[in-house]
Amino acid sequence: MEILAIQILNSLFYASVLFLIAAGLSLIFGVMNIVNLAHGSLYALGAYITAWLIGRAIAGGSGASAIWLFLLMPIGALAVALVGAVIEPTLLRPLYRRAEEYQLLVTFGLLLILEDVMRFVWGGLPLTADTVVDALPIVRILGQLYPAYNLVVIGIGGIAALGLWAFVYRTRFGVMLRATSQDRRMASALGLDVGRVYILAFAIGCFMAGLGGAIVVPSQAAVLGMGVDALVLAFVVVVVGGLGSLKGALVGALIVSFVRTAGIQFFPEVELAVLYLIAGIVLLVRPTGLFGTA
């Protein structure tokens, strides 16, 4: 029973991070109709930048109180959003009229570049930021010890999900965003500034990925290749949930996380295979995913 509670918490922790990545991927696809293969690398970039910032802050010895370190996480995510705001108008915008293969080639090229940039800047050694985890207490849950930091991550995931939902469905920009995603030509005929919607949507998607990296890095160090691993899992999430759907990203992230946590516990040899099997079955039965639209 106690083990189960911890496993559920672990799944929720994992789901929070996966949701942040997959929601950004899904948002970008929903609005721009682009499958961003570099999305996992943007998540890794968020992790690296945040770990680096936290490392600098600690080395600088600026009091290094935990609150300060927590503030560095959104800054890491914002940095990634900024990268996104540069990438969209320069690299992606010329490609919207081209065939999908070109978009895949460009975002794949971007993936390779980002991976190499991270290797060049931060080297091959893992970059840790576990001071943040240590800054928070270990709490006792049903007699089991559990880092309070993980609960914070679960909280951030929940808040991010709510925040993104509110943003897309309750704000003025959200209305423009949904209109543009339904019909770009019509939105621009109505006089909406589609270019600005695109750049903001892409930056928000990148922010979500960067935030995912920022909150994961204190408990799992930033390592080369983490972006590609995350991309693969994010694809499983959006295949199950439906590409372009926020609800799908949330449900997909929960399903993948719970299955994976159970997999690590009960069938570690085929843990990933089971995930692909689920994705495959969803593709066969409901090609658009659980919440996707055709």
Q: Which residues bind another protein (CB under 8 A)?
A: 167, 170-176, 178-179, 182-183, 186-193, 196, 200
Amino acid 165 reads: W
> What tokens were used for 198?
């695109």
CA distance 188 to 131: 48
Nearer to another protein, 110 or 161 (CB): 161
Least Å from the CB of residue 140 to another protein: 40
Amino acid 143 reads: G
Nearer to another protein, 112 or 186 (CB): 186
CA distance 3 to 191: 56
Least Å from the CB of residue 38 to another protein: 26
Least Å from the CB of residue 79 to another protein: 21
Nearer to another protein, 82 or 179 (CB): 179
Nearer to another protein, 127 or 199 (CB): 199
Least Å from the CB of residue 138 to another protein: 38
Least Å from the CB of residue 201 to another protein: 11
**What residues contact 150, with CB distance under 8 A and at least 6 apart?**
9, 10, 13, 219
Amino acid 132 reads: V
Amino acid 61 reads: G
Least Å from the CB of residue 76 to another protein: 22
CA distance 14 to 210: 15
Question: 139 - beta bridge partners?
Answer: 146
Q: What is the dihedral of CA 272, 276, 281, 284, to 10 degrees?
A: 180
Nearer to another protein, 142 or 190 (CB): 190
Contacts by 68-71, CB closer than 8 A, 24 or more apart = 69/129, 69/131, 69/132, 69/135, 70/132
What does DSSP assign to residue 290?
A: S
Nearer to another protein, 146 or 167 (CB): 167
Nearer to another protein, 69 or 177 (CB): 177
Q: Residue 33: what are its φ and ψ, rounded to 5°?
A: 60, 35
CA distance 291 to 293: 7
> What tokens were used for 24?
């950004």
Least Å from the CB of residue 73 to another protein: 21
